[in-house]
């Protein structure tokens, strides 16, 4: 099986709960980037966490915590390398209109 670069997950959260964006399948590694875009006319707070497994993020697992995305401006987190069964969780502020897209390569072992 080839390891092709593609969009592996996307989300447009409509509530403020922490949610899983992506879980790396077993016997697989992931390398890629998260792209976030605030589609509204107002600032929006976003949070992104990397976890070793499924569940809720602890304090040490947040890459961004209530990071303010300005209107109509894309933001990326690049160079992610995740082991099998790791997850990426996201959370948005009230009234969010943020799209999340995860691009990269799933490498099977």
Is 29 a residue whose pLDDT tops 80? yes
SS3 content of the chain, % helix, strand, coil (to 5): 5, 60, 40
pLDDT band at 2 (very low <50, low <70, confident <90, very high): low
Distance CA 93, CA 80 (A): 23
Say if 102 falls within a structural domain: yes
Q: Using one digit for the tens of pLDDT, what is the confidence trace for 47-97?
A: 999 999 877 888 899 999 999 999 998 999 999 999 999 999 999 987 678
Say if 46 falls within a structural domain: yes
What's the total number of domains in the chain? 1
Q: What's the pLDDT at 46?
A: 95
Instruction: Give pTM, 2 decimals.
Output: 0.91
- Closest by CA position to 19, among listed 105, 92, 94: 92
Say if 1 falls within a structural domain: no
CATH of the domain at 43: 2.60.120
The parent domain of residue 68 ranges over 6-108
């Amino acid at each position: 099986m080839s390891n092709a670069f593609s969009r592996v997950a996307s989300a447009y959260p409509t509530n403020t709960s922490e949610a899983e964006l992506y879980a790396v399948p077993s016997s697989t590694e992931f390398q890629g980037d998260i792209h976030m875009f605030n589609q509204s006319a107002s600032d929006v707070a976003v949070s992104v966490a990397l976890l070793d497994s499924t569940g809720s993020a602890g304090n040490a697992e947040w890459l961004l915590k209530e990071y303010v995305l300005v209107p109509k401006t894309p933001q990326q987190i690049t160079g992610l390398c995740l082991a099998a069964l790791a997850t990426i969780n996201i959370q948005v502020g009230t009234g969010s209109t943020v799209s999340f897209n995860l691009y990269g390569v799933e490498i099977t072992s």
